[in-house]
């Protein structure tokens, strides 16, 4: 997900509603998922604002402790090469990784290969690599990846984030498939060399086009372990049935484990600061899941149930459950995601947190 990515919404048509899940949902039960993850990459920055998060008993607790108590077993972290601030840089991620491991949680590292957000619309090379030749760029990818995997020893690694269009643009744009595959393999080879146990994920945002993308990887003998997809109803599909069938199809076609690497849903369409929210219109919702605490919970529990029924479905990661309005209610540079968090506007945990329950 990209903080700065603003997409123009389209008018919802009758067809959209016909292909959405319209039956009144009942909160389902489901077997536990093997990976119950949260991407809390903002937490070190939010901690600096001294936000008092509260658990279900209304006790002030750290987000990491709340998540673990509720059954979360894996923490997903983004890594930027040389960010404008120290946040999401190697020093911060190293310290946070040590803390996460000390609590008995697994680490899922997302290497962006950029100084800032990398996603389908932006894959800028780190400034330090901006003038590198293709050969030097390949060496940089290998050496950097080997360094961070050796240092952090993550359980899971994404070589790139939402690499629908490739990464390390323009050199690694997917329009130049040979360059893209070569650079991707450099990151993979470095990961395999640095760790014999780290599982490698290939991350595609959305469902449409995913079969083409993973076919490209297969045709080029790309070595990885897990198919990783982003899924948000606003941008992808309003049908959870389609999510499930697409996941099953990908597993069948490519013989890989599969996971939803990013997802999220609003508990309100309201605001808690003056920063424009990314998801804030009724058109962004699945009609049968309103923007309420219960609607968020029911969406997540149905999604969890569907994943548990997918052959080789590993689990999911909730993106930015901690990204509350941490800079104050009048901040114009605060959170565009506070209505998508798993904490309400008083920073108390919501019932959607139960998606992590064992």
**For residues 278 and 336, is the Cβ–Cβ distance under 8 A?**
yes
- Between helix 134-152 and helix 90-102 the angle, nearest 10°, is 30
Distance CA 201, CA 314 (A): 12
Residue for token digits 């946070």? 96
CA distance to 12, 24, 344, per residue, from 19 (Å): 11, 15, 30
Q: For helices 210-219 and 240-254, give the axis angle rounded to 10 degrees.
A: 10
Which two tokens mark 94?
A: 């190293």
CA distance between the termini of the chain: 26
Rounded to whole angstroms, how far apart are CA atoms 95 and 180? Answer: 31
Q: What are phi and psi of 70, to 5 degrees?
A: -85, 0
Pick the catalytic residue: 45, 59, 153, 162? 162
Residue 351 falls in the annotated catalytic set: no
Rounded distance between C-alpha atoms, residue 30 and residue 161, angstroms:
29
Out of 70, 92, 262, 322, pick the active-site residue: 262
At 353, list the tokens.
């947190």
Q: Which two tokens stand for residue 85?
A: 């601030």
The encoded tokens of residue 264 equal 């999220």
CB 74 within 8 A of CB 110: no
45 classed as catalytic: no
Nearest to 303 by CA among 97, 36, 9: 36
Catalogue the active-site residues: 162, 262
């Amino acid at each position: 997900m990209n903080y700065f990515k603003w997409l123009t919404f389209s008018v919802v048509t009758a067809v959209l509603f016909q292909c959405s899940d319209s039956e009144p949902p009942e909160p389902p039960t489901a077997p536990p998922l093997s990976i119950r993850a949260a991407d809390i990459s903002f937490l070190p920055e939010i901690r600096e604002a001294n936000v008092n998060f509260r658990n279900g008993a209304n006790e002030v607790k750290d987000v990491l402790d709340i998540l673990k108590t509720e059954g979360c077993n894996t923490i997903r972290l983004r890594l930027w090469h040389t960010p404008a601030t120290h946040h999401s840089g190697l020093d911060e991620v190293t310290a946070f990784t040590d803390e996460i491991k000390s609590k008995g949680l697994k680490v899922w590292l997302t290497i962006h290969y950029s100084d800032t957000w990398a996603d389908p619309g932006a894959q800028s090379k780190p400034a330090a690599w901006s003038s590198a030749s293709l050969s030097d760029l390949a060496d940089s990818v290998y050496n950097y990846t080997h360094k961070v995997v050796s240092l952090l020893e993550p359980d899971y690694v994404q070589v790139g984030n939402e690499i629908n269009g490739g990464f390390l643009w323009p050199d690694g744009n997917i329009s130049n498939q040979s360059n893209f595959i070569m650079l991707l393999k450099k990151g993979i080879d470095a990961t395999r060399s640095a760790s014999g146990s780290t599982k490698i994920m290939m991350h595609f945002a959305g469902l449409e086009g995913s079969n083409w993308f993973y076919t490209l990887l297969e045709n080029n003998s790309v070595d990885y372990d897990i198919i990783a997809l982003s899924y948000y109803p606003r941008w992808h599909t309003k049908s959870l049935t389609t999510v499930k069938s697409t996941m099953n199809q990908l597993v069948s076609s490519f013989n890989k484990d599969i996971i939803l690497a990013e997802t999220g849903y609003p508990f309100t369409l309201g605001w808690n600061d003056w920063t424009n929210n990314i998801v804030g219109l009724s058109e962004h919702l699945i009609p049968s899941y309103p923007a309420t605490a219960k609607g968020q919970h029911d969406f997540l529990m149905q999604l969890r149930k569907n994943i548990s029924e997918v052959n080789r479905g590993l689990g999911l990661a909730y993106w930015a459950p901690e990204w509350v309005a941490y800079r104050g209610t009048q901040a114009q540079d605060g959170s565009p995601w506070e209505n998508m968090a798993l904490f309400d506007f008083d920073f108390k945990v919501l019932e959607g947190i139960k998606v992590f329950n064992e």
